[in-house]
């Protein structure tokens, strides 16, 4: 087995403030590249290089493998900052970094196979369990399926694929199976309204054998320290309930995207308020009202997500696994935060008038990205709110992965 990464190229000693500053410094470059990245429909090589250079993808990777092993709030802060430059880049950082977090939960052998060869290895995923099927086999599972929305899979060396394990028609398990890129097919079908440069393509696997140590049980990632990698990775961040808070990262992308919309709108209004003739935009009360309302929605969304992340970390620090109602509250909050951000972007887009319909103006892309973000099931408030309401009212919600 390969030893944990200890080279001078690791990020274990990088201070949180330094990482945030480096993320902020990338924003201008990400804005400059956004149009080219959209045309390519994937993250540009120079962006991937920049992210690896500053360690943005390794914020939740264990220190023993050269990662930063930050607290869970980093899953909010870093993507939120990067989304000010490009929402698609932020989205991929969310996914690629949380998959590093997930790998820390796997058996030590799986961690060594990936990080022992390359601590910078990129891991994509297909997270919809119903899209994959599996049957038990000697020493592991045989899986097949077709998973869409696998962000960054075009550049990933590995992919975690969710499957439902059945014995006949009876469901007996849910697993996240780690496959090498030689074991699956990538279908280039990512042609979308927004989030165009995420490269969220479809993955197909057919009758692939996955050893059990590379098949993480979904019931072990509901919070606590029952996961196989707990002994080697005892940091409390790995005890956070992923199934309850996984959506917070992409909600943070929605916040950063809305922050960019506000920044661009304020700059536009200020520019138009320096004209020598005509009514200045900043003197119109409706403009003042719209930008103020948008700002408070964005700030509220940011506060909600960070508060949840800090609370979840505190629970993990104290070996507390949140109950079902609390987990559903977290999921509800992420969706509501994203909804607030979509409302803010819509209001700001209206302020720009005809300028906002030109592809040359950043808010056109930001508007499309906001609505593409809102289409994700984790950020759909209509989908996430009722379950919390049902439990709060004394009803039952059955979800074995939660």
Residues 148, 207 within the same domain: yes
b/e per residue 283-304 (b: at least 16 CB within 10 A): eeeebeebbeebbebbbbbbeb
Total structural domains in the chain?
3
Rounded distance between C-alpha atoms, residue 254 and residue 90, angstroms:
9
Residue 347 lies in a domain: yes
| pLDDT, tens digit, 9 for 90 and up, residues 85-118 | 999 999 999 999 999 999 999 999 999 999 999 9
- Identify the pLDDT of residue 66: 97
Rounded distance between C-alpha atoms, residue 186 and residue 205, angstroms:
9
Cβ contact 373:250 at 8 Å? yes
Residues 330, 193 within the same domain: no
Residue 22 lies in a domain: yes
Phi-psi region of 166 (alpha: psi -120 to 50; beta: other; left: phi over 0): beta
Residue 51: CATH number of its domain: 1.10.540.10
Residues 385, 316 within the same domain: yes
| pLDDT, tens digit, 9 for 90 and up, residues 31-78 | 999 999 999 999 999 999 999 999 999 999 999 999 999 999 999 999
Tokens describing residue 389: 């309401």
- Identify the pLDDT of residue 277: 57
Residue 397 lies in a domain: no
Instruction: Decide which of 95, 115, 135 is a domain's last residue.
Output: 115
3 state DSSP class of 145: strand
Residue 399 lies in a domain: no
- In this structure, the number of other CB atoms found within 10 A of the CB of residue 120 comes to 17
Residues 76, 193 within the same domain: no
Residues 109, 131 within the same domain: no
Residue ranges of the chain with per-residue pLDDT less than 50: 1-8
Residue 225 lies in a domain: no
- Identify the pLDDT of residue 9: 55
Residues 388, 318 within the same domain: yes
- In this structure, the number of other CB atoms found within 10 A of the CB of residue 28 comes to 11
Residue 172 lies in a domain: yes
CA angle 245, 82, 314 (to 5 degrees): 30
Rounded distance between C-alpha atoms, residue 394 and residue 389, angstroms:
9
Residues 292, 364 within the same domain: yes
Residues 107, 143 within the same domain: no
Rounded distance between C-alpha atoms, residue 78 and residue 59, angstroms:
9
Instruction: Decide which of 91, 115, 139 is a domain's last residue.
Output: 115
Residue 360 lies in a domain: yes
Instruction: Decide which of 76, 97, 115 is a domain's last residue.
Output: 115
Residue 261: CATH number of its domain: 1.20.140.10
Backbone angles phi, psi at 158, to 5 degrees: -140, 165
Q: Which domain holds residue 209?
A: 123-219
- Identify the pLDDT of residue 90: 98
- Identify the pLDDT of residue 174: 98
Question: Model's pTM, two decimal places?
Answer: 0.95
Residues 250, 377 within the same domain: yes
Residue 111 lies in a domain: yes
Residues 214, 343 within the same domain: no
- Identify the pLDDT of residue 343: 98
Residues 40, 168 within the same domain: no
Residue 175: CATH number of its domain: 2.40.110.10
Residues 283, 378 within the same domain: yes
């Amino acid at each position: 087995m390969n030893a944990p990464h200890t080279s001078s190229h690791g990020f274990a000693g990088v201070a949180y403030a330094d990482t945030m500053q480096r993320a902020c410094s990338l924003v201008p470059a990400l804005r400059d590249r956004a149009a080219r990245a959209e045309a390519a429909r994937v993250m540009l090589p120079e962006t991937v290089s920049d992210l690896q250079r500053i360690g943005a993808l390794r914020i939740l990777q264990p220190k023993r493998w050269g990662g930063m092993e930050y607290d869970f709030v980093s899953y909010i802060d870093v993507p939120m900052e990067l989304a000010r430059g490009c929402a698609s880049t932020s989205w991929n950082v969310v996914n690629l970094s949380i998959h590093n977090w997930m790998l820390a939960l796997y058996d030590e052998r799986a961690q060594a196979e990936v990080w022992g060869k390359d601590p910078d290895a990129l891991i994509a995923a297909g997270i919809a369990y119903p899209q994959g099927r599996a049957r038990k086999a000697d020493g592991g599972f045989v899986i097949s399926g077709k998973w869409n929305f696998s962000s960054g899979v075009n550049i990933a060396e590995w992919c975690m694929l969710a499957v439902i394990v059945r014995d006949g028609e009876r469901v007996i398990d849910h697993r996240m199976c780690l496959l090498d890129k030689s074991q699956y097919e990538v279908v280039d079908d990512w042609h979308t309204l927004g989030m165009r440069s995420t490269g969220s393509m479809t993955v197909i696997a057919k009758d692939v054998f996955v050893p059990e140590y590379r098949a993480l049980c979904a019931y072990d990632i509901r919070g606590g320290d029952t996961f196989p990698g707990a002994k080697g990775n005892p940091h409390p961040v790995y005890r956070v309930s992923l199934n309850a808070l996984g959506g917070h990262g992409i909600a943070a992308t929605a916040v950063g995207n809305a922050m960019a919309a506000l920044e661009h709108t304020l700059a536009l209004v200020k520019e138009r308020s320096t004209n020598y003739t005509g009514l200045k935009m900043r003197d119109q009360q409706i403009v003042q009202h719209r930008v103020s309302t948008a700002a408070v929605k964005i700030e509220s969304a940011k506060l909600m997500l960070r508060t949840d992340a800090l609370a979840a970390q505190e629970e993990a620090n104290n070996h507390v696994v949140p109950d079902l109602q609390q987990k559903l509250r977290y999921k509800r909050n992420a969706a509501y935060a994203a909804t607030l951000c979509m409302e803010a972007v819509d209001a700001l887009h209206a302020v720009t008038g005809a300028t906002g319909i030109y592809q040359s103006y950043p808010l056109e892309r930001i508007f499309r990205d906001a609505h593409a973000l809102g289409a994700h099931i984790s950020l759909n408030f209509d989908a996430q709110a009722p379950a919390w309401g049902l439990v709060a009212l004394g009803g039952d919600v059955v979800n074995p992965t939660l």
